[in-house]
A and B are shown apart, each in its own frame.
Chain A
Amino acid sequence: MWTIIQIELFKIFRRPRTYIAFGAIAALIGIIQFGLKLDGKSYTDFLMKDIGGSMEIEGNVLNGYLICYIMLQLLLVHVPLLVALIAADMISGEANMGTLRLLLSKPYSRTELLLAKFFAATVYTLMLLVWLAFLALVVSIWIFGVGDLFLMKSSYVVLLNEADVFWRYTGAFCFAALAMVTVAALGFFLSIFSENSIGPIVATMSIIVFFTILSTLNIPVFNIIKPYLFTTHLNSWKEFFDIKVSDTNDAIIGSIQNPQRIINSVFVLILHIVGFVGASIWVFNKKDVLS
């Protein structure tokens, strides 16, 4: 098993396509950082416009922590595309290239092969997130420094102490990793049905975009199904940045407003991963390889 995992990783990291994602993230983050470095003031002014009505904000709002949050918010919409680029290609790409039949005529079971491939896709996804975390958090802190994190939610704002932020990012990145592995699992599942990689990549993205729209729309009919859509849960990393308040309306340092939501989402996402991978194994074991 370890041999095929090694081989799958070797294949992933020998492909130019793999580095597109790393490059794309670096470019996106670089541009945002550059832009905010140049003109961060007008961006934050725009952001604070709504709260400016009755409150004044003192201090360096635009620090590394806020920039990381902004980027996570933006990029976690795009990263699924990059994850799909590899995950949805895991089987279909080999079918397209014609290597799948050779691979499957080797003395490993299809289940082993799929698990190894999924594991490799997961490693890729995690590395992508580590890369994202490094650029969005570490580099932003290096450029913009640290400070308290001031966040605007739809019906309230949250101010987190500098010392109360890093662990939240750790949690958020771990959660985001799980969310992205779910995307990988979806792409992986779709990739077994196709003999070219474009189909599953587009299908994965379409499903995510479609479900995200359903998740975003605040229409009563959709609200019923929302809790069951995995896209609703992909964004639960934000819960790490919502703090509990005491009876006297003081934020309780180190607390999370809705830890249950995170737990629920983790549970739903794990269920999806197990479901997608399980279904992949089930379907793939019955599939005739004609490519």
Chain B
Amino acid sequence: MHLQLSPEDAAFRDEMREFFTTKVPQETRDAVAERRELTKEQFVDTQRILNAHGLAVPNWPVEWGGRDWSPLRRHIWHEEMQRASVPQPLPFNASMIGPVIAAFASEEMKQRFLPATANLDIWWSQGFSEPDAGSDLASLRTTAVRDGDEFVVNGQKTWTTLGQFGDWIFTLVRTDPEARKQRGISMLLIDMTSPGLTVRPIELIDGGHEVNEVWFEDVRVPAENLVGELNAGWDYAKFLLGNERVGVAPVGGTKRVVAQAKEWARETGQLDDPLLASRIAELENDLLALELTALRVVAHSADGKPHPASSVLKLRGTELQQAASELVVDLAGAASLASGAGDGATDLPWWTRRATPVYLNLRKASIYGGSNEIQRQIIAKTILGL
């Protein structure tokens, strides 16, 4: 056991810090720091900058742009990126479909999609959840029926985050209605400009347009767009969701919010309140425990499979993310009501106006990526043997 970074890892950290704070446009980093919605261009430009320097998809296999870093270096990369308020590589590309294609798809499919996925030339959307298949994802009903060299897809997906920007969508579809529910599922890649595919926005409680419904009406998809084996989609989905759990603990981002919150508390004279100071101190301590656990758990992940304890990271990480957003609303006080005030029409600081929309929006965090109840189920079953 030892604490200090090796000189090589310390140099690596300095290198990351230097890169993220100097190579990504300040305007984009300000937007992240100020918790504003980013434009598509800001996501794309950032990812291309990262990709040009080999920093977009370090967790991929080396031949496709991965870096073969130690778990510690991956952690440092991730933390320094969040610390500098750099938008993370689009998770649908970098953490979800990219690793699945790299692990399970044909060589042809890898060459066709992986470079474009790393560079965000293709913006991927996720087509997993359906109105009647949320936590019970395997009960999904969207069908793909083989017709010659094509599949014909019918059904509806939902909660498709940023689907309005999507070029392609990776979907789970039912290809064998007779089989036991997990066995009859395949993973299909679908061009979102295909005839019969419709994206409809869902407005959320924060007033934003972040998620969508995606409808498929006789959408014809070339059979070559099938990922891996027919009816093996559930295995790929489990692989993908396991990766999602690891990446989803937003330690660095939440630390930034708490650091900002302290500054706002100081500016508004609230940091002298011992009750508030104690609340912040406890939140900082909880975040430290989470960060250390992430470091400890990630070091024990083997064969690219997530450590079962990664459920702890998802569960606790989202709880603390939500707790930090709640703290900011409380700091804002009555000013948090002014969420609809434009810059020219208010005397209230921007952060007080953003506080509640962010808080409301982040209720999603304990629901997506396998709800926190699903994580408890995973812990109870796979770790505790209950």
Q: Tell whether A and B belong to one assembly.
A: no
Residues of A bordering B, CB below 8 Å = none
Where the two chains meet, the residues of B that have a C-beta atom closer than 8 Å to any C-beta of A are none
